Copies of this chain bind each other. A is one copy, B any other.
Amino acid sequence: MKLEKVTSEKGRRYHDACGAAHGLDLVGDRWALLVMRELMLGPRRFGDLRRDLCGVSANVLTQRLEGLEASGLVHKRKLAPPASVQVYEATEWGLEIEPVFMVLGRWAARSPGHDPTLPLSAVSLMLSFKTMFDPGLAGGGRMTLGFALGEDRMVVRVADGRLEAWRGEAEDTDVVVTATPPLVAAAVYGKVPLRALVGLALEGDAAVFERFVGFFHLPPKAEVTS
């Protein structure tokens, strides 16, 4: 006898025609935006989401996925056999939220309270590349890098002053980086010398990764004098 709470989904929404307010109605609940983040590079399984969203509990994750699906941002799908596993996938419209991560991330990176040494998911690392990539620094540089981050395999391509990232096995890559996401972040954003990063391994042309590191720069910290 389920108590049929029926999830009224009313009452805690802003009653505001402002687009940003409605955006918060859609992804303003705790964890909701970060769930979308993890889906930006392709479908994920429930357990993978739970692992990468460090700290989220199973019931909350279930609620968020239900809510996001009800809003048309996420689609529950079952992969074809023999995989036959259930995955959650962002809808076409859901994927269009990506610029929010860029703008919000770039702004928040100026916060004095931002600690870049905290844990980081593989998807977050890829999105940070797309956010902090500076075409002016890259010039006409052209390269393909593979990243082996725990179980995750990512490919990053820089070409024509643009950076693209997707989930996939490394093929035709100039260099393959094996490490944890925070270690890669330390190298790219902290400009920590590679020899100082135990646990980060390069296979292939190490000089390509050295150049890659130079394509990024963090925005200056904001003044907190007030």
Contact = CB atoms under 8 A, between A and B. Distances in A.
Interface in A64-108: 71-72, 75, 91-93, 96-97, 99-108
A128 B15 contact: no
A25 interface: yes
Interface in A17-40: 17-26, 28, 30, 33-34, 37
A5 interface: no
A63 B93 CA distance: 34
A117 interface: yes
A105 B19 contact: yes
- Residue among A28, A71, A121, A226 with max Cβ neighbours from chain B (10 Å): A226
A54 interface: yes
A24 B18 contact: no
B15 A120 contact: no
Contact of A20 (B16, B17, B37): B37
Interface of A: 14-26, 28, 30, 33-34, 37, 54-55, 71-72, 75, 91-93, 96-97, 99-121, 124, 127-128, 131, 182, 185, 222-224, 226
21 contacts: A14-B55, A15-B119, A16-B120, A16-B121, A17-B118, A17-B182, A20-B37, A20-B100, A20-B124, A21-B37, A22-B111, A22-B115, A23-B108, A71-B111, A72-B222, A75-B226, A92-B223, A99-B103, A100-B103, A100-B107, A103-B103
A149 to B, nearest CB: 14
Contacts of A124: 16-18, 20-21
Given A17-B116, A72-B224, A104 B100 contact: yes
A29 to B, nearest CB: 9
